[in-house]
Homo-oligomer: A and B are copies of this chain.
Amino acid sequence: MSVQLPDMPEFTPRQNAVLEQALKLLVSGGEKALTTSGLARAANCSKESLYKWFGDRDGLLAAMIAYQASKVRTAERSGGRLTADLLREHLEVFGRDLLEVLSGDVSLALNRLAVGQASREGSKLGTLLIEHGRRQIDRRAIGLMDAGRRAGLLRFEDADSAYHTLYGLIVSDLHVRMLLGEPGLKDNARQAKKAVAAFLVLHGLDTNSEGGN
């Protein structure tokens, strides 16, 4: 037996192209539009190949999540000295990136898919999404937290708890509203700025340059 090695890109280029088309179908019309026949037709492949590659429909869905996660790479910026303004800037960039990711149509489609599957027992899709899709951005935020504390710019007891506070301030109920189909999206930059300002009031050490809009 051969386990998936990290250098083995999990799928062949052909399979990646099929998964890309699957994501396109999912984004365009939701889960109902993602049928095996439709995907085979759209991707110019045979249903038999789909079942040979991914096992069954659930395997295809899991492969789509893994494929999408493999595409996302966070910048993981981590330069030298960290000043208060630099930390604020990094936090705001993080907030904008987070909102951008969450409001992306592929992300929304995959989250809707996983939420829809969450009722069935043994879904694993939700866990997969949380693990693959969030770990990257979570690690980036936790890194930012720790760097801020090490530089004497942030104070908190638990980095994870502080991160959840930041997350809540940034996202609030926007994610669920978007998942429910609400189109009107507030300005990401403005929302991130506000959230970071509040976060720094809670967990920052200096109070200068406060009250930005």
Interface residues of A (CB under 8 A from B): 29-33, 109, 111-112, 114-116, 118-120, 123, 126-127, 129-130, 161, 164-165, 167-173, 175-177, 179-182, 194-195, 198, 201-202
Contacts and interface: CB of A to CB of B under 8 A. Distances in A.
Copies of this chain in its oligomeric complex: 2
Given A112-B119, A130-B182, 16 more contacts: A29-B119, A30-B116, A111-B115, A112-B118, A115-B179, A116-B116, A118-B181, A127-B180, A127-B181, A130-B177, A164-B172, A165-B169, A167-B173, A168-B170, A171-B173, A176-B176
Contact of A176 (B116, B127, B175, B195): B175
Contacts of A118: 30, 112, 179-181
A17 B120 CA distance: 25
Contacts of A120: 29-30, 32
Contacts of A164: 172-173
Nearest to A109: B119
A101 to B, nearest CB: 13
Contact of A202 (B29, B31, B123, B201): B201
